[in-house]
């Protein structure tokens, strides 16, 4: 079997290496249009989890790569003249050029034919498989764009990729504002003397600074002046550095196996991209290579059987594509954060750091506490102090138990309970299990208890078992419960002209059929005119003189009124006019 890999980046080289190593009888050739050692970018970052897969895939290249690693376990955030360090963040960096050199040598060692300065088109090759690893601008993919259906979304921010002679000891985020706007830096070491230094800003800031018209040298000069205090005399270095927007690429399929044409498998940036703020495209490409090689081995596709090849490619896509798509979702969250960091400039440093570290959803409060308990202790303590707590307390309370001001109401904590009613109220008076559930919630020390939906009129009930607040008996039923203490809010509801016979939780089964049918009929009068929201809300207006919410508001413990989405359209006019309590 003969395999051609188009693109001599880390992904293409690693796939060729693993396939040849697993099946020496394969004839594998790599075509790279650039000279050996030519590359864009500076360093590459890997997590410890990725390194485990490298070790299992090819131990020799794993040893060569890790021997040249720079390893750190902290993230530094420089923001508002403060420096916050978050520990427990283990990453490794290596020069991209060194990584390519290691993989090229290893490919040659196992018998892969690596040809530099050779540009080919897949349609002109007579191989049994073409691996397209020729990057985001893949000519191989575009030649069959009607099959792969690539979609590219340009980011809203601008960034430029520099190197620097500043030897960092951690992954470093820098946020610095001037008269032009806010700039941010993503920087990390990749050898003992050099670091990657990515500068990012909004489109507006980029234009305000005149960088849309600046040359490469002028961009370097501007950034060196802006970050002079952070660079500490070190220089920025360019490698064909240009201001660009990050393109997120997704493809409908990664494989194409048409009869009569050479099969193609996309790999790495030719199939997908993910924003640099959450990971490395090199990491994803090399993980793609591992998955493809494993699929070949499991399906014994190296023997040349076309059916085995198609099955192996399908396995590769089925395993890898969903994993990359989940990664892209997290990367999109991270990218959106960095495209709107100006929104968070008013946050205190420790709160800003917490938002930054949890931006993608892959790391949460509990995970951060495991990684760096001292950081989270400081975040909790200062968060509690800003809410009126004691910043000298021996143990800081978790954020959920910190007081919260909701309008003019002080809640003891941020826990909200909302018991689900079972429909046991009688004539709108809360009773039975509904009463017991609400009483239990009020006694649970939650900061706020929200009732289930409460009808504002008799015909506004979904079913006869719904609680209401439209006569004195119903008001008194709630008042007795609220007098026991606790903060509570009432969720007002009106079933509306299209309301069902029974609660949604009971599905399509109608309860108390006779009474429910009467409610249904009241809500569905025979009409010859078109529905009019203002005119049809008269039922809600008619209940206003006796409506309980206005009167319960002055009772103890009753702190808020809410309208669920279903009642908003019916009551919209009343809310606008301020006529509903």
Residue 560's pLDDT is 57
Do residues 158 and 244 make contact, with C-beta atoms less than 8 angstroms apart?
yes
pLDDT tier, 561 (very low <50, low <70, confident <90, very high otherwise): low
β-partners of residue 77 are 84, 173
pLDDT tier, 186 (very low <50, low <70, confident <90, very high otherwise): very high
Among 168, 133, 67, 388, residue whose Cα is nearest residue 271: 133
pLDDT tier, 130 (very low <50, low <70, confident <90, very high otherwise): very high
SS3 445: coil
Residue 574's pLDDT is 37
What would the mean pLDDT of 117-133 be, rounded to a whole number?
96
Residue 505's pLDDT is 52
Query: Using only C-alpha atoms, what is the Rg of the chain?
Result: 32
pLDDT tier, 496 (very low <50, low <70, confident <90, very high otherwise): confident
- State what percent of residues in the chain have pLDDT above 70: 85
Average pLDDT across the chain, whole number: 86
Strands (E), 494-565: 558-562
C-beta atoms surrounding 530 within 10 Å: 5
What's the CA gap between 443 and 372, in Å, rounded?
35
What's the CA gap between 148 and 154, in Å, rounded?
19
Comparing 295-299, 431-435, 520-524, which segment has the lowest mean pLDDT? 520-524
What's the CA gap between 504 and 512, in Å, rounded?
15
Higher pLDDT, 136 or 535: 136
- Give the distance from CA 537 to its chain's centroid: 41
């Amino acid at each position: 079997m003969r395999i051609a890999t188009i693109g001599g980046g880390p992904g293409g080289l690693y796939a060729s290496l693993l396939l040849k190593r697993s099946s020496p009888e394969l004839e594998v050739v790599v075509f790279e249009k650039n000279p050996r050692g030519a590359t864009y970018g500076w360093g590459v970052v890997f997590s410890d989890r990725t390194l485990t897969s490298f070790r299992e895939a090819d131990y020799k290249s794993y040893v060569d790569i890790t021997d040249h690693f720079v390893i750190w376990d902290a993230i530094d955030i420089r923001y508002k003249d403060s420096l916050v360090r978050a520990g427990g963040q283990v990453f490794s960096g290596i020069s991209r050029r060194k990584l390519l050199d290691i993989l090229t040598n290893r490919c040659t060692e196992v018998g892969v034919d690596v040809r530099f300065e050779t540009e080919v088109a897949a349609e002109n090759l007579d191989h049994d498989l073409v691996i397209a690893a020729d990057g985001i601008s893949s000519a191989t993919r575009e030649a069959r764009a009607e099959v792969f259906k690539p979609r590219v979304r340009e980011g809203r921010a601008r960034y430029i990729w520099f190197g620097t002679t500043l030897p960092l000891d951690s992954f470093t985020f820098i946020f610095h504002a001037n008269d032009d706007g806010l700039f941010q830096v993503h920087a990390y070491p990749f050898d003992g003397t050099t670091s990657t230094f990515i500068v990012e800003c909004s489109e507006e800031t980029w234009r305000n600074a005149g960088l849309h018209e600046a040359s490469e040298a002028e961009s370097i000069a501007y950034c060196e002046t802006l970050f002079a205090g952070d660079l500490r005399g070190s220089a920025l270095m360019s490698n064909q550095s240009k201001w660009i927007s990050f393109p997120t690429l997704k493809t409908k399929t990664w494989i194409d196996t048409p009869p009569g044409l050479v099969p193609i498998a996309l790999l790495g940036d030719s199939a997908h991209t993910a924003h640099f703020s959450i990971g490395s495209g090199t990491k994803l490409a090399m993980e793609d290579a591992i998955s493809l090689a494993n699929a070949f081995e499991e399906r014994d596709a190296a023997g040349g059987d076309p059916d085995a090849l198609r099955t192996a490619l399908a396995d590769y896509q089925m395993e890898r594509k969903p994993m990359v798509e989940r990664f892209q979702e997290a990367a999109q969250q991270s990218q959106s954060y960095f495209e709107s960091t100006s929104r968070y400039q008013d946050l205190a440093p420790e709160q800003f750091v917490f938002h930054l570290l949890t931006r993608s959803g892959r790391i949460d409060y509990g995970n951060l506490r495991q990684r760096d308990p001292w950081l989270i202790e400081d975040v909790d303590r200062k968060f509690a102090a800003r809410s009126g707590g004691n910043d000298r307390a021996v143990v800081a309370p978790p954020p959920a138990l910190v007081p919260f001001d909701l309008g003019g109401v002080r809640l003891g904590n941020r826990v909200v309970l909302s018991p689900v009613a079972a429909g046991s109220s009688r004539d709108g008076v809360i009773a039975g299990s509904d009463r017991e559930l609400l009483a239990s919630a009020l006694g649970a020390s939650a900061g706020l208890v929200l009732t289930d939906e409460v009808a504002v009129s008799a015909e506004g009930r979904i079913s006869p078992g719904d609680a209401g607040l439209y006569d004195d008996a119903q008001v008194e039923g709630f008042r007795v419960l609220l007098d026991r203490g606790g903060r509570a809010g009432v969720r007002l509801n009106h079933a509306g002209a299209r309301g069902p016979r029974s609660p949604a939780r009971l599905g399509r089964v109608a309860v108390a059929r006779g009474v429910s049918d009467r409610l249904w009929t009241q809500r569905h009068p025979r009409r010859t005119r078109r529905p009019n929201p203002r005119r049809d809300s008269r039922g809600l207006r008619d209940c206003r003189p006796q409506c309980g919410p206005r009167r319960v508001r002055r009772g103890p413990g009753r702190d808020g009124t809410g309208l669920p989405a279903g009642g908003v359209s019916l009551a919209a006019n009343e809310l606008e006019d301020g006529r509903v309590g």
